[in-house]
Amino acid sequence: MPHFYVTTPIYYVNDAPHVGHAYATVNADAVARWHRQIGDEVLFLTGTDEHGQKVARAAEEHKMSPQAWADRLAPRFAETWAALDVANDDFIRTTEPRHHRAVQRFLQRIFDNGYIEPGSYAGWYCVGCEAYKDESELLPGRVCPDHRRPVEWLEQENYFFRLSAFQDRLLEWYRDHPHSVQPETKRNEALSFIKGGLQDISITRTSIDWGVPVPWDPNHVFYVWYDALVNYLTAIGYADGDDGVGEWWPSVHHLIGKEIIRFHCVWWPAMCMAAGIDPPAHVQVHGFLLVGGERLSKTRVAGGGERAVKLTEIAPTALVDDFGVDPIRYHLLREVPLGADGEFSYEGIVSRYNADLANNLGNLMSRVATVVGSKCGGTGPAPRLESRLAGVAAEVVASATAAWERFAPHDALETTWRLIRETNAELEAAEPWRAEPGPEVDGVLGDALQALQIVALLAAPAMPTTCAEVWRRIGLTGRPEDQRLPGAARWGTYPGGGAVEKAPPLFPRRSQ
């Protein structure tokens, strides 16, 4: 059975989860769900990044110990993912003993291999990024462009990872693995970091003690990024198993935001090489959700009200309370293609909800159920094997499959909605609600029911609850997510003969 290992970034617990985190996590979840449906053995990992200065300072501001603070914040992430129906297989916290053991083993290996040595470094440090910044990257007033806060001068005597030794090996690796970073523009960004020259990196700290202790020098803790990246190995048993880490490595898929390309596409593969394991096979980079054109801008967005809100202040759970879980999942997957930046707004959610969910999918479901009720005695007829929609469905299944495979939920849903639109159009042309009951009406409705069955299968990774409800209403047993694709989505599999249920609208229309 093919193995499919997908990860999200592990999120800092300096603050509560926001809609940007939800974007990454729901996209990874939908892709993982798709892979379960095609029969892969899936491991979907997310979690929290709990060490480092940023978290230590947040704890201090709240007059709590870092551990107590992390213990308070980590469950907020887990609860948010549960509210968004995210089915992660594991949730890693970097304060767990299994992770400490993995970090120590991994970095000890790199030390033993001669790629870690003592040294000193001084430079401008952004606590938000938890990274040194080159003067040339900063905005006037030495402000970090990502965090809009001044950087701090930091001088350190400690251990360095010899990243500079990996320039040629990284370039060679990227030459031999041309598709390992997607999209292509992000791969080029990684390559230009590497070609620009690599400096050794200070990877331990004595200035704080909130971190994983360095096994060969316990006065130091590891720098938070060097601890965090290892989480991807911790979860597959690196701490306790053999270094080959079994079937899950290196065929892993890391979904990350574009601001952490350097860590995942330069540092991380070099660290893996230094520890004697293969670099990750695939990094899928996504862009930012923006509010009023900026990642952190103050503007009007949530609740349609006047309150100024930053993107980082929008709680995913508040959106779920307002719209329901599946509409929010659908929006996060459909609105902004993975790889691009895109606007996130309350108005945008309402208009996509009305157009795609209320008017298209919801309308198809209710008109089919109504007409089966009035013209077919409530029993779903079987589809016609010769039907224009059969051809459309075959194309849609093929292109949705390809889109899910290439981490493009946005395209997968867009193409799935083509089948909904074309089915609605067929119904409008045939007008079965005006016709006399008989084989013609049965055929039209059988085709529409078959199309709904296929839509429920293809959209289940995005909207599991809604698709299970469509499945039930069209008289099928079980759940769409338990059917095996592609076989279950073949035209002609809708059996007919089941009770089709007329029920309240799936998605009542919303006003702005």
φ, ψ dihedrals at 396, nearest 5°: -65, -40
| Minimum CB–partner distance for residue 8 and ligand ME8 (Å) | 7
Residue (326 or 335) nearer to ligand ME8, CB: 335
Residue (28 or 456) nearer to ligand ME8, CB: 28
Assess contact for 7 and 281: CB atoms under 8 A.
no
DSSP-derived secondary structure letter, 323: H
Give per-residue burial for 6-33: e unless 16+ CB within 10 Å, then b. Answer: bbbbbbbbbebbbbbbbbbbbbbbbbbb
Residue (45 or 455) nearer to ligand ME8, CB: 45
| Minimum CB–partner distance for residue 20 and ligand ME8 (Å) | 2
Give which of 173, 460, 434 is closest to 329, Cα–Cα.
460
| Minimum CB–partner distance for residue 15 and ligand ME8 (Å) | 8
Residue (231 or 387) nearer to ligand ME8, CB: 231
User: Could you tell me how many helices (H) and strands (E) the chain has, helices first?
Assistant: 18, 17
User: Tokens representing 358?
Assistant: 């209320």
Task: Tell me the C-alpha distance between 418 and 429, whole Å.
Answer: 16
Residue (228 or 328) nearer to ligand ME8, CB: 228
- Give SS3 for 43: strand
| Minimum CB–partner distance for residue 10 and ligand ME8 (Å) | 5
| Minimum CB–partner distance for residue 264 and ligand ME8 (Å) | 7
Task: Tell me the C-alpha distance between 446 and 440, whole Å.
Answer: 10
| Minimum CB–partner distance for residue 229 and ligand ME8 (Å) | 5
Assess contact for 105 and 230: CB atoms under 8 A.
no
DSSP-derived secondary structure letter, 503: -
| Minimum CB–partner distance for residue 281 and ligand ME8 (Å) | 17
Residue (20 or 324) nearer to ligand ME8, CB: 20
Q: SS in 3 state form for 204-266?
A: EECCCCCCCECCCCCCCEECHHHHHCCHHHHCCCCCCCCCCCHHHCCCEEEEEEHHHHHHHHH
Give per-residue burial for 400-432: e unless 16+ CB within 10 Å, then b. Answer: bbebbeebbbbbbbbbbbebbebbbebbeebeb
Residue (288 or 404) nearer to ligand ME8, CB: 288
Assess contact for 356 and 416: CB atoms under 8 A.
no
Residue (316 or 480) nearer to ligand ME8, CB: 316
Strands in 340-385 per DSSP E: 342-343
**Residues in contact with ligand ME8 by the rule CB under 6 A:** 9-12, 20-21, 23-24, 49, 228-229, 231, 256-257, 259-260, 288-289, 295, 311
User: Taking the mean position of all CA atoms in its chain, how far away is CA 42?
Assistant: 14
| Minimum CB–partner distance for residue 255 and ligand ME8 (Å) | 7
| Minimum CB–partner distance for residue 215 and ligand ME8 (Å) | 21
Residue (18 or 384) nearer to ligand ME8, CB: 18
User: Tokens representing 408?
Assistant: 């493009």
Assess contact for 226 and 107: CB atoms under 8 A.
yes
